[in-house]
Structure 1
Amino acid sequence: MYSGLLMLFLILFIVIVYSVLYVVILKNQEHELDSLVNQEAGFIGNYLLKNEPSDLQGIPNQKVVFAGVNQYFYYVVNSNGEMIMGNEADRRLRPALLSLVKGRFQKDSEIHKDTVHVESIPQMRGNKGEFHPHDDAHDIRLMIASHSIYYKGQFIGQLYIGKDISFAYQLFHWLLMILVALGVVFFGVASFMSVVMSKRAMIPISGAFSRQREFVADASHELRTPLSVLLSSIDAMEMTIEPTEEEAFVGKMLSNMRQEVKRMTNLVSDLLTLARSDSNTIESKTESFDFRPQADKALESVRPLAASKQISLSLHAPATLVANGDPERLSQLLYILLDNAIKYTPNGGQVQLFLSAEGQQLSIKVQDTGIGIKPEDYNHIFERFYRADKSRSRQMGGHGLGLSIAKWIVETHGGNIQLESEVGKGSTFVIRIPLR
């Protein structure tokens, strides 16, 4: 952002400097030309008063001496458009120059600019009749001013003076190139400095993120043991309770504790998985295996949860389906998607798992008749701890990490995951993973 602001300031600086110099230089040229044309018009007027000729034909051209810098031509044209007197730096251009000034009886204070093209001049070289350009073709930029000449109140003619300002435009071109080159140099320096400074700024941020990631991984790892002990102790206590009315309340409390401990265990396990995935410390093994038995096991593990909500589970897959990847992670992927589908499907709904080989890809599709997902939640559903409906997620025991882990598993296998959903009708997760 700061580099962008610096470059914006530099561009504005270049534009302002170029514009100011352009205006100042051209205004200075206009002022010089205006002074020159007034001076020469006054000289001709004084000559007429002293010599009293019938017209300007009596003034020889050599009497008119123009000392202006870069002056290219001067002409005096009568009211009929005929040149009375004049001279130019290149006689070949007289027709072109006269066509610029004939009929232009502009105001004395008016200055206009024109361009005249000069053709190359071929010149004989040697005895073989070979030619080479003596003067390359180019354009001459002229600034033209005029002044009316009167003698005893009668209009005699219009004085035109043209000044060559090609060098000024060439100077503008050089100036623009220099400013652009400086801008490129400053842009390179600014980019280099921004990269260096951003790397320095990222050092403490990266360190803090690494420490936070290590803390989450260590804390999750250390919490697994006490949670396992708690779960085992609750199971042992439930076994010692006799089915009497006095101990029914205690049994209910232990059941609730057991459910919460299992929920905490799953959360800690997910946090540990994500922390290790961030640090790339999870070893992933790749092997070819039959994916159908893994799907059967995942379906059986979630069948009690589906039965508690009278949800119909079905598997559509070939008898044998060879996949390539980490069997443990792909089984975890199936469990996450099936568990998520069952949780968000109302009682009496349906969850279907489709497995197939499409070309060189393994296709996994989990379809449910659940509550669906809103379109505005599509881009966030795979974010960590994101819940489209927070109150419903808490009631169902979700903590917003399952789909994040699912996406990570798919990406580590070089695949992609897509979502198709309609609110009130259900959702479909489609995963495609390369078979090789």
Structure 2
Amino acid sequence: MATQIEKHRTTIPDHVPSDRVRDIDIYALDGLEEGFHEAWKRVQTADNPSLVWTPLTGGHWVATRGTVIDEVYRHPEHFSSRVIWVPREAGEAYEMVPTKMDPPEHTPYRKAIDRGLNPAQIRRIESDVRSVAIELIEGFADKGGCDFARDFAGIFPVKVFLALADLPFDDVPMLNQLAKEMTRPSGSTPEEQGRALEAANKGFFDYLAPIVEQRRGGTGTDLITMMVNTEINGAPMPPDKLLGLVSLLLLAGLDTVVNLLSFMMIYLARHPETVEEMRSDPKKLLRGVEELFRRFAVVSDARYVVQDMEFHGVQLKAGDLILLPTALHGLDDSQHEDPMKVDLSRPNVAAHSTFAQGPHRCAGLHLARMEVLVTLQEWLARIPTFALAEGAAPIYHSGIVAAVENVPLVWKV
């Protein structure tokens, strides 16, 4: 692996100080076999500045501290969303909206999404969401074990979202493969990764085009019908933007909460005292949801520097990319004491960027919170104590969205 990475190093630009250079590959983090968050935490050392530059994955800056991640997210006038994936070739191939838009163009599209995913809409589906969780958990509760990533996390949030969008569950294997190529594109060079992402993006568009056309003018209450028939600035949404918006919603429903749930359960399986604390106090369980989001952020996207500027002690050039590993905001020990620990009484639990910040703050956060809360409530009601199977070795993947496979849990029946 080291030889392969060495082959694809980018020349260090003249404006990058040599003492800011670090070898960081978002798709192959050092120490990843020990855990995704553990691998990113290794980057956040006392001798690493808050902004470093890597010659890998096409060459880009990496924000290592929560204050910098937060600041970049909140200032789209300086840090644009026109390229939000690394390597640059993948970011330029990415066509989903409104994540690649800046205000004011971004604003009406975001309002359209908020109409479908606002708290009132999410509350209306809570009983349906709970029913899905209960059915899945009761399907294996009396067996004494399951692969949580495969048997629950990979099904529950996907089923919930596909029901919202009125899409068939039979399409999930194909859609999951497209999602994987979007968030962890294959290839050993930036050019190969760009082509992989472009093909996956096209796959989403090709899948959704006939569905979008079929629901145009419809009166259904599903999420896609609502989006298809939403006007932007008094006119029908342009077809390419409509496909980009619906594709984004589908991608988010397939890959983010799915993986956060598995990271969460690995930790809880190793820390029965935290599980007992949640079980003993429903209020702590409620509060614990936000703490779990702080601890287990999975997204690492980027921003495009709009103009030459000085920023946190370095000179940035227009066109530079800054990677924002959201995990490093929640794990920043300058903001959180003992940040690797899940502390249900943490005082500043909301200090994280798991849902990003500013105008691009995640529109699906209300649904994500409900899915995590429902999972904990219904799981602990039926499987109050559990552990990782002896010899379990979860398989971690890093990328734009981190993933984990092989999460065997066991419990006494």
What is the TM-score when the length of structure 2 is the normalising length? Answer: 0.23
Instruction: Tell which structure's C-alpha radius of gyration is larger.
Output: 1
Higher relative contact order (CA 8 A, sep 6+): 2
What is the TM-score when the length of structure 1 is the normalising length? Answer: 0.22
More strand by share: 1
